[in-house]
Amino acid sequence: MAESVYKVIELIGTSTESWEKAAEAAVARAGSSVRNLRVAEVKELDLTIEDGKVVTYRAKLDVSFKYEGE
């Protein structure tokens, strides 16, 4: 069996609705330009607040994909 190598990139997705939608947005956007996405690990969740109200949910992810280098 051939050995595989995976590269990990950090992404931050945002949403005005939820952390889940923020994570989905990050994966969807990455999937439009990176092939063979494999695993996403949520590393951090935070949010932005304005005037005492939550404005934006943010999800920081480490996403791996199969490396197809030279």
Q: Between 22 and 1, where is the model more confident?
A: 22
Is the domain defined by 6-66 classed in CATH 1.25.40.10?
no
Q: How far is CA 11 from CA 2, 15, 16, 53, 70, in A?
A: 29, 13, 17, 24, 24
- Give domain limits for the chain: 6-66
Cα angle value 12/18/24 (rounded, 5°): 50
In tens, the pLDDT along 20-58 reads 999 999 999 999 999 889 999 999 999 999 999 999 999
